[in-house]
Amino acid sequence: MWLWNWDRWPLLQRRGNQFFAKLLVSMLLVGFSFRCLFFFFSDSFAFLPLSQQPLRDYQSVENNGASDASVLEAALQNGVENSREGKCDLFTGEWISNPSGPAYTSESCPFIESPQNCIKNGRPDTGYLYWRWKPYGCNLPSFDAEKFLDVMRDKSWALVGDSISRNHVQSLICLLVKVEEPVEVYHDEEFKIRRWHFHSHNVTISVIWSPFLVKAENFRHELGVSSSEIEIHLDILDEKWISQYKNFDYILISGGPWFLRTAIYWENNTIIGCNSCQEKKNLAEISVQYAFRKVLRLLYHFFATSEHKPFIMYRSWPPSHFEYGEWFDGGRCSRTAPYKEGEFMGTDLEHLMRGIELEEFKNAVVNGACLKLLDIYRLSLLRPDGHSGPYRTFRPFDNKNKSASIQNDCLHWCLPGPIDFWNDLIMELVLNGKPK
């Protein structure tokens, strides 16, 4: 299936013929890559001559058909000694032992919210903390908080999505805290939109709760039950984030499991149908897949047509690991070590949804924007051990009472935990990734 098998483009550079390679590089720099390289030059190594830039020794998977300027460039800088046999896909690899453990602890980071603070909530095992992501064929450098804040000086970030984005922003802030502790400068009434400022670096990080990315109504409580169906406008982006869009230099955005809920869909200010709400007999049945695809197209269209061109990353579907049931009927995730590749494939529904994401990403016309895919699905799929499970609330005596009805969280991640590595990947995409 194509989604398992991203095209690996033939590597253009070969030993010799540097002139040809140089010419090609300059053409590529001017052409395909302008937007992302603009970010690269202006943000990270401004004013350094090309030859002093660090070697980028691997590539992220993205899906343009263009040749790879940065591999060529790296080879030029290093007299082709470092030319590589192939590209490294950052998102394909394995979790390997990491004796040094996480970069922060549940005590050292005051920004971990209780449902993520598994250790404080009594999780007894710690083995899940001692793994790191290792792409096949290259090394993923650890997140460098100092470098991140330096490179992002005067820049503004936003993470837009659901509670997984909130989980993620906590991880990012925890990694940064040892260099500088931010101050929360804004939150809305429900703490669903929040903004932190790192004063001495003048870096701003926002998280914006917008689980459908489009306008939606009737969905106030995350685990609560609404009296009526969620109403989703498939053709109107959510004001919550687009009203602030022009303020952001970097935006990390994603859809997710909220799309699987029963909902009434609107287009053109008219109800067009509903997914799995049989009792609404007069409504046409519309699939979740249709709705999700529609929203992603609208999203990419917005990026392509908006005058503001931030650095955009789309984060893929977050895997869940409920076993012996679903989230609502006693499903749990009690493993204490990662899966080996191939041991667990994830659910069909998740593959379907991620497939739509990959397809729509591939078809997106960027039109001068810098757009990258943060494809965390498969690497996170290997971490059934990293979820909060029963430790989303205080539960000091382990999960021994099997008859107790405990709601497990096998979707969100413990902090510290595997989600921290998403930030290592972001750092690579931002500093070294090639443009779509």
Q: Is 272 exposed, middle or buried (0-12, 13-18, 19+ CB in 10 A)?
A: middle
Q: Is 401 in the site for ligand NAG (CB under 6 A)?
A: yes
372, 433 Cβ separation under 8 angstroms = yes
Q: Is 67 in the site for ligand NAG (CB under 6 A)?
A: no
**What minimum distance in Å lies between the beta carbon of 204 and ligand NAG?**
6
**What minimum distance in Å lies between the beta carbon of 347 and ligand NAG?**
29
With CB under 6 A, what is the number of residues at the site for ligand NAG? 9
Most distant CA pair in the chain, distance? 72
> Cα-flanking dihedrals φ and ψ of residue 277, to 5°?
-115, 80
Specify the stretch interacting with ligand NAG by CB under 6 A; choose among 57-65, 94-102, 382-390, 402-410: 402-410
131, 125 Cβ separation under 8 angstroms = no
**Is 308 tagged catalytic?**
no
136/186 with CB nearer ligand NAG: 186
**What minimum distance in Å lies between the beta carbon of 149 and ligand NAG?**
13
Q: Is 154 in the site for ligand NAG (CB under 6 A)?
A: yes
Task: Tell me how far CA of residue 65 lies from CA of 7, 68, 267, 301, 388, in angstroms.
Answer: 9, 9, 33, 20, 40
**What minimum distance in Å lies between the beta carbon of 197 and ligand NAG?**
9
Specify the stretch interacting with ligand NAG by CB under 6 A; choose among 134-142, 151-159, 255-263, 363-371: 151-159
Which structure tokens are listed for 59? Answer: 């590539």
**What minimum distance in Å lies between the beta carbon of 268 and ligand NAG?**
4
CA-based nearest residue to 388, from 320, 329, 340, 325: 320
Specify the stretch interacting with ligand NAG by CB under 6 A; choose among 175-183, 300-308, 314-322, 401-409: 401-409
Q: Is 156 in the site for ligand NAG (CB under 6 A)?
A: yes
109, 174 Cβ separation under 8 angstroms = yes
Q: Is 52 in the site for ligand NAG (CB under 6 A)?
A: no
Q: Using CB atoms, what's the residue nearest to ligand NAG?
A: 404
Specify the stretch interacting with ligand NAG by CB under 6 A; choose among 2-10, 213-221, 403-411, 417-425: 403-411
1/404 with CB nearer ligand NAG: 404
Q: Is 408 in the site for ligand NAG (CB under 6 A)?
A: no
Q: Is 170 in the site for ligand NAG (CB under 6 A)?
A: no
51/405 with CB nearer ligand NAG: 405
279/307 with CB nearer ligand NAG: 307
**Is 7 tagged catalytic?**
no
202/363 with CB nearer ligand NAG: 202
Task: Look at the alpha carbons of 31, 34, 40, 46 in this order and tell me if their dihedral is positive or negative.
Answer: positive
Distance CA 348, CA 239 (A): 32
- Choosing from 43, 249, 375, 409, the catalytic residue is 409
**What phi-psi label fits residue 31: left (phi over 0), alpha (psi between -120 and 50 degrees) or beta?**
alpha
**What minimum distance in Å lies between the beta carbon of 407 and ligand NAG?**
12
Specify the stretch interacting with ligand NAG by CB under 6 A; choose among 27-35, 49-57, 88-96, 153-161: 153-161
CB burial readout 213-228, b (16+ within 10 A) else e: bbbbeebeeeeeeeee
Specify the stretch interacting with ligand NAG by CB under 6 A; choose among 23-31, 104-112, 292-300, 396-404: 396-404
Q: Which of 268, 278, 282, 328 binds ligand NAG (CB under 6 A)?
A: 268
- Choosing from 163, 165, 171, 388, the catalytic residue is 163
- Choosing from 201, 321, 387, 412, the catalytic residue is 412
Count of other CB atoms within 10 angstroms of residue 133? 24
107/154 with CB nearer ligand NAG: 154
**What minimum distance in Å lies between the beta carbon of 307 and ligand NAG?**
18
**Is 424 tagged catalytic?**
no
Q: Is 202 in the site for ligand NAG (CB under 6 A)?
A: yes
CA-based nearest residue to 319, from 405, 364, 261, 385: 385
140/173 with CB nearer ligand NAG: 173
| Residue carrying structure tokens 């390997």 | 96
Supply the residues annotated as catalytic: 163, 409, 412
Residues in the site for ligand NAG, rule: CB under 6 A?
A: 154-156, 202, 268, 401, 403-405
